[in-house]
Chain A
Amino acid sequence: MTSDPESIVTRYVVRRVLLFSLILLALLFVITAALSRTYHAREEGLVTEWSQRGNADLAAGKPALAFVDFRNSLSYGPDNPGVQLHLAEALLADGRFTEARSYLVNLWDRTPGSGEVNLDLAHVAMQTGDMEEAIRYFRGAIFGSWEKDPGLQRRNVRLELCEFLLSHRRTSDAQTEIAGLAADTPSDDGILREQNGRLFLRVGEPAKALAEFEAALKTNPRQSQWLASAGHVAFEDGDFLKAEAYFSKADRENPSDEIHASLMLVRDVLGNDPYLAGLSDEERSRRTRGDFDQGIRRLHECTGIGRSDSAPGQASPDVQLLNKEAQDLEKRVNLFSLDKNPELRNEAMQIVSRIEDATAQACGLGTGLDQALTLIVKRGGGSNP
């Protein structure tokens, strides 16, 4: 301990100054806090103000202006992920993919599970041609988090991914995605079910498509478009009975030329198909005979063979040969012989098939019963009627 006068004065000064400094610090703290609070409030105001302008410009289709607005906004709130995302979207809309990617990658690092960020990155990758990266980010978006309506957002992303995959002919990947889409679709949402059905059709899965259309129809059995779609799928799948049922319902609910034509075609098929299961031999023979006669008629109409004004040698040698074979067969084809001989029925239908092919090449696709015959022989495919 010391008690010399100089030391006492020094200690006194130290205490006074330290105490004074602490009071001054407290005062400065209050001033700084007030100043920074005011400034932060102003900053937040500017972030919102510029962001709103950006959104308006983006909505008005002015991405370049929106980009400037968002950039202004970000200069006051550089960590605002919402504005960063909007800025990236403005850049994307303006075709500035590299810059957009830079922002988005930064955002992704902070929120790798954000559905929006992943989707935007997928868009950038699509634009830059990086397919695998695009798929990766699409999947990130599908399994990522979404603030608003996550179910719908995920579905939309999946739809977009399907379109993307289909446009790049990656059908099997698209099939997987559509299957996932169908699994996640609520059973009572007919619109989405019908959408699934169309996608299944595009990837060549008519059975699954039909199942989706039928599921859609359960929610609204009188929706004519869905009925028609189901009819078309059943028709393409060769299930003419089902097709006829859907087409006739569709025709009842909302008659149109197109549906009516489809219905007539199905009915022609059903009324003339000798291959249909459950027919008696007699009926098969009758139908075969009718189809054969129609085939001969079609050949004559198309090539002019047999007409009085036709000059010999006008038809090609192949057609003339076909005509000769048909005439030879015609001599043997009658209801009795057809009834007894399934091979003859087959032979007759083969000739019909060849006639339809030849006339389709020479005169274009047949209509009405000829169109039905084409379908019948294609479906019969070599088996005995």
Chain B
Amino acid sequence: MSERDIPIEEERPPEPTGEFPSAEANDSSLKWLSSRARSLTLSEGNLFLLLAIIIGMFSGMAVVCFRITIEWVRLGLLGSALAPPPMRVILAPAGAGLVVAFLVQKLFRAARGSGVNQTKAAVYVFDGYVPFRTVIGKFLTCSLAIGSGQSLGPEDPSLQMGAGIASALGRRLKLSRDKLRLLAPVGAAAGLAAAFNAPISAVLFVIEEVIGTWSASALGAIVLAAVSSAVVMRSFLGGEPMFRVPPYTLAHPAELLAYAVLGVVSGVLSLAFTKIIAYFRPKLRALPEWTYYFQPAAAGLLIGFIGLRFPQSMGTGYPYIDQALHSQYTWEILAVLGFAKILTTSLSFVSGTPGGMFAPVLFIGAMIGGAIGGLEHHFFPQVSASVAPFALVGMGTFFAGFLRVPITSVFMVVETSGSYSIVLPVMISNTIAYLISRKYQDVALFDLLAKQDGLELPSMEEQREQIVLRVEDAMRHPDLPPLQAGDTLARAMEIAETSTVEVLLVRFPTGRWAGIARKDLPAMASAHAPETQLREVLSTARLPVLHPDQRLDDALRFIQGHALLPVVSRAGSRKLEGVISLPDILTAYQKAS
């Protein structure tokens, strides 16, 4: 599709015929509407933004249906009490596990896993293609699994469903491959925003984990999709923050040390959690394929037994996070619940049960955070005021350590709680957990899972930390001071004769730059008198300029067709900082590698 506008064809609307339009009138109205629709003018850019809004609305409603379905399944299988009857606790996840395994193995193979890597694979491997069958599969299997008490969450599947919806729409619209690739993250952000009721975090997560760059072409659409999706979700399920937290104030500066301790503990535990999954997942995948039918059921059975003692460790666990945030558990119970959840989530995830990791990670973080807070409050009551902020910070900290998305983790805590005052402890704690996790686990979880699945997806973390070469790394001092626009052609020839430079740079008073190649000088001399000023000779010539802080990649694009480019100061383009040539750029790349 081209950037050109679709033409307007004006048509008159039909004359009104009465209060209750007849079938003919309806038909003519439809024709008129259809003709109006035909007359819309849309560039591809605008179409893309409109599509982002439509994707957001679709994803928002899909996620609302998804969340409600999970709740209906839970009510049907486990009952309405937070602590369900024992028989249901044991039978529901195991029974549902069997059905889910059958569905995944026979009908929806792509529904396995959390959904984040699958979305990344769609972007980087399959040109933005996510089969719509996967959306249906994800919806059904995850509803059943999460609703039955498997320890998984609805956020990552929502992300994949959003990507699937976007991909399906893009295919229907026969969008270009580039646009299709961009649409998947747009849908992913929409799905996540609705699932989390947190559009900012969703946008940041998709940028941090899926596309890896702040691409201007995608950002507008991603934001629009996330916002429209969140608006739709809120209109159906309410706009309250996900977690209601008591107001937080820093009781004592030393409290920040307590948060640092929380960062250390969460970092270590998130590392352990990653190692457990990284170790057991390939082991179970290596078992004969017939066992895939029973792995989710076996995991469900074990989860049921754990759930008999700790029903909190089943399902998403959101109501219990709320309770932890309201200091309803002692620190001992919180610690036990955190470990129980690590166990149940590991079981669910490594068994191949479809479902997300976000909710369990938040649960574990809240419990560990609450336990640390409770412990510190027990020994140093003057330092920490309440357990609740620790539980809240713990969520973000574990999220940062486990999923390795530090920026998202900070905003997620602020956005899901509606509490901005918590941001300082969150930043301290998250950074520590993230650094510990990075230090002792080279590859982030999602990258690790992709590798286990035989996919070499780009690691956003690695991309973020790649050394970026800049123009200043390759530029050199000019061999000669530049000529001025008022200098004569004779002066230029004189300098050329006394030096070996191939290109003479000429500076104009306006900040414009031009170049004279040594080989062109004889032709110029024959065409103009020696006293002719260079501004007349070079009246139309213009050299692109670079700045020292620009990426070397940019320099490569500009240097095409030029032997030398001036590098000028951002404070004034008349000030020459250096010069750069193609061999200089290549030398810099060689040195860096």
Q: Is the CB of A102 within 8 A of B327?
A: yes
Hey, which chain B residues are within 8 Å of A19, CB to CB?
34, 37
Contact string, B41-70, partner A, CB cutoff 8 A, digits 1/0?
010000100100010011001101100100
Known contacts A50-B80, A72-B80, A75-B319; A15/B38 CB under 8 A? yes
In the bound assembly, the distance between CA atoms of A31 and B69 in angstroms comes to: 12
Contact string, A127-146, partner B, CB cutoff 8 A, digits 1/0?
00000000000000000000
* 8 A Cβ contacts from B1-34 to A: 1-2, 4-7, 34
Q: Is the CB of B54 within 8 A of A102?
A: no
Hey, which chain B residues are within 8 Å of A33, CB to CB?
236
Q: 4 nearest interchain CB pairs? A: A75-B319, A102-B327, A1-B7, A32-B61
Query: Which of the 9-residue segments B166-174, B428-436, B539-547 touches chain A?
Result: B166-174
Known contacts A25-B57, A72-B81; A32/B1 CB under 8 A? no
Known contacts A78-B322, A109-B247; A36/B68 CB under 8 A? yes
Hey, which chain B residues are within 8 Å of A101, CB to CB?
327
* 8 A Cβ contacts from A82-130 to B: 98-99, 101-103, 105-106, 109
A35 within 8 A of B: yes
Hey, which chain A residues are within 8 Å of B50, CB to CB?
18
A-B pairs with beta carbons under 8 A, tally: 103
Known contacts A35-B65, A102-B386; A25/B47 CB under 8 A? no
User: Which A residue's beta carbon lies closest to that of B34?
Assistant: A19
In the bound assembly, the distance between CA atoms of A291 and B327 in angstroms comes to: 72
In the bound assembly, the distance between CA atoms of A72 and B1 in angstroms comes to: 55
Q: Would you give 17 A-B contacts (Cβ < 8 Å), ordered by A?
A: A1-B7, A10-B174, A14-B1, A17-B172, A18-B50, A20-B172, A22-B54, A25-B57, A25-B58, A28-B58, A32-B64, A33-B236, A36-B64, A46-B80, A68-B83, A75-B82, A99-B328
Hey, which chain B residues are within 8 Å of A71, CB to CB?
82, 319, 323
Hey, which chain A residues are within 8 Å of B88, CB to CB?
none
In the bound assembly, the distance between CA atoms of A190 and B300 in angstroms comes to: 68
User: Which B residue's beta carbon lies closest to that of A12?
Assistant: B38
A336 within 8 A of B: no
Hey, which chain B residues are within 8 Å of A7, CB to CB?
1-2, 4
Known contacts A14-B1, A46-B80, A78-B322; A98/B65 CB under 8 A? no
In the bound assembly, the distance between CA atoms of A22 and B54 in angstroms comes to: 8
Known contacts A1-B7, A72-B81; A25/B54 CB under 8 A? yes
Question: Closest approach, in angstroms, between the C-beta of B308 and any C-beta of chain A?
Answer: 16
In the bound assembly, the distance between CA atoms of A72 and B80 in angstroms comes to: 8
In the bound assembly, the distance between CA atoms of A74 and B386 in angstroms comes to: 22
Of A32, A99, A109, the most chain B CB neighbours within 10 A belong to A32
Hey, which chain B residues are within 8 Å of A42, CB to CB?
75
**A79 partner, pick from B47, B64, B240, beta carbons under 8 A:** B240
**A17 partner, pick from B80, B173, B240, B247, beta carbons under 8 A:** B173
In the bound assembly, the distance between CA atoms of A22 and B236 in angstroms comes to: 19
Q: Is the CB of A99 within 8 A of B7?
A: no
B476 within 8 A of A: no
Q: Is the CB of A98 within 8 A of B37?
A: no
Q: Is the CB of A106 within 8 A of B246?
A: yes
B577 within 8 A of A: no
Contact string, B78-93, partner A, CB cutoff 8 A, digits 1/0?
0011110000000000
Chain A, interface SS category = helix
Question: Closest approach, in angstroms, between the C-beta of B395 and any C-beta of chain A?
Answer: 17
Known contacts A14-B42, A15-B37, A72-B81; A39/B244 CB under 8 A? no
Of A18, A72, A103, the most chain B CB neighbours within 10 A belong to A18
Hey, which chain A residues are within 8 Å of B61, CB to CB?
25, 28-29, 31-32
Known contacts A25-B54, A99-B326, A103-B326; A39/B247 CB under 8 A? no
Q: Is the CB of A99 within 8 A of B327?
A: yes
Q: Is the CB of B2 within 8 A of A2?
A: yes
A148 within 8 A of B: no
B251 within 8 A of A: no
A307 within 8 A of B: no
In the bound assembly, the distance between CA atoms of A71 and B319 in angstroms comes to: 9
* 8 A Cβ contacts from A245-282 to B: none
In the bound assembly, the distance between CA atoms of A28 and B326 in angstroms comes to: 37
Question: Closest approach, in angstroms, between the C-beta of B378 and any C-beta of chain A?
Answer: 12
Contact string, A30-51, partner B, CB cutoff 8 A, digits 1/0?
0111011001001000100110
**A39 partner, pick from B54, B58, B72, B246, beta carbons under 8 A:** B72
In the bound assembly, the distance between CA atoms of A15 and B1 in angstroms comes to: 13
In the bound assembly, the distance between CA atoms of A284 and B306 in angstroms comes to: 94
Hey, which chain A residues are within 8 Å of B64, CB to CB?
32, 35-36
B237 within 8 A of A: yes
User: Which A residue's beta carbon lies closest to that of B1?
Assistant: A10
Q: Is the CB of A39 within 8 A of B388?
A: no
Question: Closest approach, in angstroms, between the C-beta of B428 and any C-beta of chain A?
Answer: 24
Question: Closest approach, in angstroms, between the C-beta of B319 and any C-beta of chain A?
Answer: 4
In the bound assembly, the distance between CA atoms of A49 and B79 in angstroms comes to: 13
In the bound assembly, the distance between CA atoms of A72 and B71 in angstroms comes to: 14
User: Which B residue's beta carbon lies closest to that of A49?
Assistant: B80
User: Which A residue's beta carbon lies closest to that of B55?
Assistant: A21
Question: Closest approach, in angstroms, between the C-beta of B205 and any C-beta of chain A?
Answer: 24
Of A1, A28, A33, A101, the most chain B CB neighbours within 10 A belong to A28
Q: Is the CB of A14 within 8 A of B81?
A: no
User: Which B residue's beta carbon lies closest to that of A28?
Assistant: B61
Q: Is the CB of B82 within 8 A of A14?
A: no
Question: Closest approach, in angstroms, between the C-beta of A47 and any C-beta of chain B?
Answer: 10
User: Which A residue's beta carbon lies closest to that of B327?
Assistant: A102
Question: Closest approach, in angstroms, between the C-beta of B154 and any C-beta of chain A?
Answer: 15
Hey, which chain A residues are within 8 Å of B4, CB to CB?
1-2, 7
Question: Closest approach, in angstroms, between the C-beta of B187 and any C-beta of chain A?
Answer: 13
Known contacts A14-B173, A31-B65; A98/B327 CB under 8 A? yes
Beyond contacts A1-B7, A2-B4, A21-B169: 20 other A-B pairs, Cβ-Cβ < 8 A, are A7-B1, A15-B40, A20-B172, A32-B236, A33-B236, A36-B68, A39-B71, A46-B80, A49-B80, A68-B81, A71-B319, A72-B81, A72-B82, A76-B80, A78-B240, A79-B240, A98-B327, A102-B328, A103-B326, A106-B246
